[in-house]
Structure 1
Amino acid sequence: MTAEEPRTPQQRRADTMARFENDIDVWVATADARGVPCMVPLSFRWDGTTFLVSTGRTLPTGRNLAENGGRVRLAFGTTRDVVLVEGAATALEAAELAPGEIEAFAAHSGFDPSSLKTPYPYFRIEPVWIQAWREANEIAGRDLMKDGRWLV
């Protein structure tokens, strides 16, 4: 397969933002206190600054996010069009979300945690590092954000 010309940094950021706004699910990777990894797909909503996900309090991902300072990594796309995000998650109960936020999450993702018998907490993920690349010719310059600051 012949690689396309590499995208400009500005185009990579635009493509990344489009993915955040339009994708519904993301791979979420966490680890427990012993370092045992866990990776699951979760629905999400991007508000332009942070991601919102929801998962069971007693499930491994929920426990890991609550117990390990919220360290999390998100993976979007395929191996030939990937976006990686490292972030810090904050646990929130439904009552702590802004008015309309639960409805916006459900409308975007098609999943309404508030309809479950067992309450699911929400986790707001603030990105601190973002990379995006397609082929090997985009490896250089793949960092779009470092230390919570956009580079592009």
Structure 2
Amino acid sequence: MTDYPPARDAGQRKRDALTRLEKDEDAWVSSASGDGPPRLVPLSFVWHDERLWMATKAKNPTVRNIRAQEACWVALGPTRDVVLIESTAEVIASDSLPDDTGDAFARKLGWDPRGRDTWVFLAFRPQRMLVWREVNELPEREVMRDGVWRV
């Protein structure tokens, strides 16, 4: 039998998830359109105004998937420190991004695709968030439901 660290309470999991959202740079995005295969891609992100913001080429399959179906999943962290986010997403033209969001993106990630017509931004609005490390945290892993923090 494996000894696990003590389970964190919901408040600590929320704080840990927010720290990961603020400090991590990369996430896995899973999307599907219904008429093609699902996609799983790594993208860099910034957490700003309660959303994850990412940029990618406008012709990427992930963009087509999100335009066809806004529902998708975003995953952060390693397998022993998971933040799994069910989201709705929208595609935003690179020249339509709010200035403060674009500035936050450029400051955190060190590059700025604004104004490049071959690029778009993706805005992910979390609807449900699951946070866990080990099996002992699985029963209370939901820290957000219907876009509202439960703690």
Q: Structure 1: any 5+ residue segments left out of the alignment?
A: none
The within-5 A match list for 1:128-147 is 128-147=127-146
Instruction: Find the aligned partners of 1:2 and 1:94 in 2 and give their Cα distance.
Output: 48
- CA shift, 1:103, in A, is 2.5
Calculate the aligned-residue CA RMSD, in Å: 1.6
1:35 shift after superposition: 5.3
- Aligned-pair CA distance for 1:37: 1.0
- Tell me which residue corresponds to 1:94: 94
What per-residue deviation string (whole Å, max 9, x for no partner) do you get for residues 99-141 of structure 1?
Answer: 232232022123322386x521111110000000000000011
Aligned to 2:108: 108
The aligned residue for residue 5 of structure 2 is 4
**Matched residue, 1:58:** 59
Alpha-carbon distance between aligned partners in 2 of 1:57 and 1:94, rounded to the nearest angstrom: 9
TM-score by length of 2: 0.92
Residue 6 of structure 1 aligns with an amino acid whose one-letter code is: A
Is residue 95–residue 114 contact of structure 2 (8 Å, CA) maintained in 1?
A: no
Contact 1:44 1:51 (C-alpha < 8 Å) held by counterparts: yes
Between 1:86-95 and 1:134-143, the stretch displaced more is 86-95
For this pair of structures, how many residues does the alignment match? 150
Aligned partner of 1:30 in structure 2 is 31
2:132 and 2:49 mapped to 1: Cα distance?
Answer: 20
